[in-house]
Structure 1
């Protein structure tokens, strides 16, 4: 039985990821701050055939993360796969952000990944096996307006992961680290992040269901030698566009980036804020895996299908080449 750890497991991508690993019969340590979300996630895991272990932890606290790793290995056994998916953020223009808000976002969304990676690397490297999957974003390559703190964290995670990956290759280690860059995903974050926008936040379309993200994470965990995976055509186009014509993309986002991240619905004054305290804490509720965009979210991503079927496609391609060569050969005789 594999031992898997998922951070940010109480909602969104992390919650969906925990469910997917549970269907494989894994033992899953669930890390997040929200008590109600964690308990509901544990029930999800049990119902799907997995073995849950709830480990309430703020990933911004390095000592707490160290203690969590020790507890998980003591109670479940050696960690095989660690998925970093926890984050928080603020929707705001830079000039309206307070220093403590930027710091807190960075502590959770960047340093949280670093703390978890450092802590689990120790036992993994001692055993010379294990996989770390970093949940990235198209915004790790191309920053957009209103999410400067989050974009900065995702850029940092990519740089940190690239350095670590090269170091592991240098050591000829069988510990692997990979990244999965996500598009806009239908998660609860758009209802619980601190926001200074006049209307409700939304993912930049096209929007994908969290199960698509979870499937990509499981695939990456199974094939961790590839340095990164891109999910969704929008992610690929965003990254390529930034490489080819970043100035044009700047102007395009200046025109469209504010409106595309907001719905027509006014933001309630009493909306929950999870930057400092979890929205699914004792006085909150379980938000689940899905956000408010089920009617618009896609349940498939072509890049994921291609990744799953690349060996079959390679075989078909080889057969087509061989058949073409045979036809050409007969035509020449």
Structure 2
């Protein structure tokens, strides 16, 4: 069975991405900070015939990410798809006029640093095997101005830039990297902002292996 690993797994989009790939025959490794919540998600997926297992890690502590990914490889086998979409709502988000290095650095460390750590842990094996998919999720502010989130969007824009550069650098290796930037209140009531709808786009990106990025915008209908 191919294996998808979801970093930042939760009951919304993370669960639906797991479900969407699981329905395509993937096993699922779920990574987040709370083992009990991960176990609940794994149990939900198991009830649908999808083999899933949770592994704890904190994106703000790089060693826990590398340890979790190593445990996943030892327990479930090689990682075919890595999806990175953690969030930490305890980090201070400030207006563009109020950005300082003190409130910017934690955003950079969490989002960009977390991705660099996670991708760096799986990329050598993917390059060696000439296959693999890495899908990185950010908010739409990574490419569209949203002054109210001045500091987080600096980190998101840096993450977007690095992801697109990876896509180009890995073009001849068999490893596919893409960015998903979401402009939507996920699960907020709009039909096209429902997690299950958005998750299908991740499967499509992986299957087609064509576009370097997707800006997913949910509109009222």
The SS at the match of 1:148 is helix
Distance 1:206 1:157, change over 3 A: farther
Corresponding position of 1:28 = 28
Between the aligned partners of 2:15 and 2:184, the Cα distance in structure 1 is 16
Q: How far apart are 1:226 and its partner, in Å?
A: 1.8
Q: How far apart are 1:97 and its partner, in Å?
A: 6.5
Distance 1:214 1:233, change over 3 A: closer
Q: How far apart are 1:12 and its partner, in Å?
A: 2.7
Contact 2:5 2:79 survives alignment (8 Å): yes
Contact 1:32 1:57 survives alignment (8 Å): yes
Indicate which of 101, 111, 114 corresponds to 1:112.
114
The SS at the match of 1:134 is strand
Distance 1:145 1:176, change over 3 A: same
Between the aligned partners of 1:108 and 1:6, the Cα distance in structure 2 is 16
Indicate which of 110, 118, 122 corresponds to 2:124.
122
Indicate which of 224, 229, 243 corresponds to 2:209.
224
The SS at the match of 2:170 is helix
- Stretches of structure 2 that go unaligned for 5 or more consecutive residues are none
Number of residue-to-residue matches in the alignment: 219
Between the aligned partners of 2:95 and 2:3, the Cα distance in structure 1 is 41
Listed as ranges, the matches of 1:1-333 within 5 Å are 1-88=1-88, 89-94=91-96, 100-169=102-171, 172-187=172-187, 208-232=193-217
Distance 1:19 1:228, change over 3 A: same
Contact 2:179 2:213 survives alignment (8 Å): yes
Distance 1:35 1:69, change over 3 A: closer
Distance 1:131 1:90, change over 3 A: same
Between the aligned partners of 2:145 and 2:31, the Cα distance in structure 1 is 28
The SS at the match of 1:185 is coil
Distance 1:45 1:100, change over 3 A: farther
Q: How far apart are 1:23 and its partner, in Å?
A: 2.4
Between the aligned partners of 1:98 and 1:44, the Cα distance in structure 2 is 42
TM-score by length of 1: 0.60
Contact 2:97 2:150 survives alignment (8 Å): no
Q: How far apart are 1:99 and its partner, in Å?
A: 5.3
Between the aligned partners of 2:199 and 2:92, the Cα distance in structure 1 is 24
The SS at the match of 1:132 is strand
- Stretches of structure 1 that go unaligned for 5 or more consecutive residues are 188-201, 235-296, 299-333
Distance 1:59 1:124, change over 3 A: same
Q: How far apart are 1:154 and its partner, in Å?
A: 1.6
Contact 2:16 2:199 survives alignment (8 Å): yes
The SS at the match of 1:231 is strand
TM-score by length of 2: 0.87
Between the aligned partners of 2:217 and 2:78, the Cα distance in structure 1 is 33
Corresponding position of 1:305 = none
Contact 2:35 2:55 survives alignment (8 Å): no
